[in-house]
């Protein structure tokens, strides 16, 4: 089956069919009785909804798990599960100088990676690169059914890059351009929004009603999930961390207001502070290593960042009361070097009798961001998950 044929073979799902498919996809194999109970459906309604899903190859009946030789009473149960390998999805994360690509199954497991340098920010040449990478992966995975692309910046209608400060793009119809070159349906989204969706469905937030995702790295990201759904807000694609003031007396850097989350926590700002103080450039990894060895300037800058992170997490915990806060991104190495300061500051910003904050640090790289874009492709292109 060619990639285009794989994409075209999906039947449009009704709202009821979509609910069934999402429940099985996210929760794993479920008996019909469990499905009916979870979705408040009668047995007849469930049968009507599952029949086309089985016929299209999206769901399959699997043997019931149990102890070998265990005696069973009554009619045998055949749980329903998704056919994880029946379709593959391609996810791209575009950075300032690289394109990271992954292929995932319907269960969001990464089955292949492909990275290529981005040597120009010309939109046409970037599309050429994405098309070549897609062709190379489609040769290995002929069941590719769709593409998700994550871009830092403002994305409109999950199709047009309205503004990307890293790529210097404005009003680039990326989904249309890549779709025309590859023959596959394409969804484009802000990279952080896609990451939050992936954590909600398949990651650290799976099954939780209320949690927060924070990322620190080249930029700063904040995502809130309530009722199991990501909360969308107008400024989320415009870098509002530049104006989230943690310490009004904090550092002033080119990337944000004085003492903002961006100025205190992002990798470019931390590197800028070291360069301004010492006249020497250093990578983030070098700064972490020097701080671990006790070098005074690196210790001072990272200590300030750690206190900012502890303050930030405490503020979020006090206001949102999440079940979990997930910390991810390329900058999480801060926790290895100055984690004690983060926790000390966090406790200082909480009531002594408050419940402990469930802060989970997730070591991640750009392939996780690409996976988020691919998961979004599953949501939108296969299951028709509405943006609202």
Q: Are residues 148 and 54 in the same domain?
A: no
With vertex at residue 169, the alpha carbon angle to CA 155 and CA 255, rounded to the nearest 5 degrees, is: 85
In a domain, 388, yes or no: no
Q: Are residues 158 and 22 in the same domain?
A: no
In a domain, 144, yes or no: yes
Contacts of 251 (CB under 8 A, 6+ apart): 258, 259, 263, 264, 269, 273, 304
Q: Are residues 242 and 283 in the same domain?
A: yes
Mark which of 50, 82, 114 sits at the end of a domain: 82
Q: Which of 127, 126, 98, 96 is nearest to 114 (CA)?
A: 98
Q: Is 101 in contact with 137 (CB distance < 8 Å)? A: yes
In a domain, 301, yes or no: yes
* Distance between CA atoms of residues 208 and 87, nearest Å: 27
Q: Are residues 343 and 212 in the same domain?
A: yes
Question: 0.95 exceeded by the pTM?
Answer: no
State which residues form the domain around 184: 88-197+368-382
* Distance between CA atoms of residues 158 and 179, nearest Å: 13
Q: Is 265 in contact with 309 (CB distance < 8 Å)? A: yes
pLDDT in tens, 4-55: 555 445 556 777 887 888 888 878 788 888 888 888 888 888 888 888 888 8
Q: Are residues 300 and 267 in the same domain?
A: yes
Q: Are residues 124 and 148 in the same domain?
A: yes
* Distance between CA atoms of residues 113 and 136, nearest Å: 11
Q: What is the pLDDT of residue 385?
A: 53
Mark which of 82, 111, 145 sits at the end of a domain: 82
Q: Are residues 376 and 333 in the same domain?
A: no
Query: What CATH number does residue 158 fall under?
Result: 3.30.420.40
CA distances to 20, 224, 355 from 320, rounded to whole Å, are 30, 9, 13
In a domain, 12, yes or no: yes
Q: Are residues 216 and 352 in the same domain?
A: yes
Q: Are residues 55 and 117 in the same domain?
A: no
Q: Which of 346, 324, 327, 347 is nearest to 336 (CA)?
A: 327
Q: Are residues 59 and 103 in the same domain?
A: no
Asked whether the CA dihedral 225, 230, 231, 234 is positive or negative, the reply is positive
Residue 206 has pLDDT above 60, yes or no: yes
Query: What CATH number does residue 12 fall under?
Result: 1.10.10.10
The total number of structural domains that make up the chain = 3
Residue 236 has pLDDT above 90, yes or no: no
Q: Are residues 164 and 41 in the same domain?
A: no
Q: What is the pLDDT of residue 161?
A: 95
Residue 369 has pLDDT above 90, yes or no: yes
Q: Are residues 348 and 377 in the same domain?
A: no
């Amino acid at each position: 089956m060619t990639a285009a044929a794989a994409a075209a073979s999906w039947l449009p799902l009704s709202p009821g069919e979509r609910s069934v498919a999402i429940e099985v996809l996210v929760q794993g194999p479920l008996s019909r009785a469990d499905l009916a109970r979870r979705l408040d459906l009668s047995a007849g309604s469930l049968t009507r909804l599952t029949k086309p899903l089985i016929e299209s190859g999206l769901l399959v009946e699997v043997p019931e798990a149990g102890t070998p030789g265990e005696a069973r009473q009554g009619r045998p149960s055949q749980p329903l599960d998704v056919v994880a390998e029946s379709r593959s999805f391609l996810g791209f994360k575009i950075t300032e100088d690289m394109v990271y690509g992954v292929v995932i199954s319907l269960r969001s497991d990464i089955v292949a990676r492909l990275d290529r340098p981005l040597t120009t920010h010309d939109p046409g040449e970037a599309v050429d690169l994405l098309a070549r990478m897609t062709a190379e992966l489609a040769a290995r995975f002929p069941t590719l059914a769709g593409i998700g692309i994550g871009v830092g910046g403002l994305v409109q209608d999950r199709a047009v890059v309205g503004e990307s400060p890293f790529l210097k793009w404005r009003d680039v119809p990326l989904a249309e351009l890549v779709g025309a070159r590859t023959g596959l349906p394409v969804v484009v989204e802000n990279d952080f929004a896609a990451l939050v969706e992936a954590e909600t469905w398949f990651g650290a937030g799976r099954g939780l009603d209320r949690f927060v995702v924070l990322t620190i790295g080249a930029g700063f990201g904040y995502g809130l999930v309530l009722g199991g759904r990501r909360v969308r807000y107008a400024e989320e694609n415009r870098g509002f961390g530049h104006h989230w003031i943690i310490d009004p007396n904090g550092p002033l850097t080119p990337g944000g207001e004085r003492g903002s989350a961006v100025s205190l926590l992002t990798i470019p700002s931390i590197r800028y502070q070291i360069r301004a103080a010492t006249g020497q450039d250093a990578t983030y990894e070098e700064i972490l290593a020097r701080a671990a060895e006790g070098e005074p300037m690196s210790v001072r800058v990272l200590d300030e960042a750690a206190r900012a992170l502890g303050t930030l997490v405490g503020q979020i915990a006090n206001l949102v009361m999440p079940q979990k806060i997930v910390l991810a991104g390329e900058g999480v190495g801060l926790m290895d070097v100055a984690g004690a300061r983060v926790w000390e500051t966090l406790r200082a910003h909480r009531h002594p009798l408050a419940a402990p904050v469930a802060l989970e640090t997730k070591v991640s790289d750009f392939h996780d961001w690409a996976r988020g874009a691919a998961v979004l492709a599953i949501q939108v292109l296969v299951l028709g998950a509405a943006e609202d």
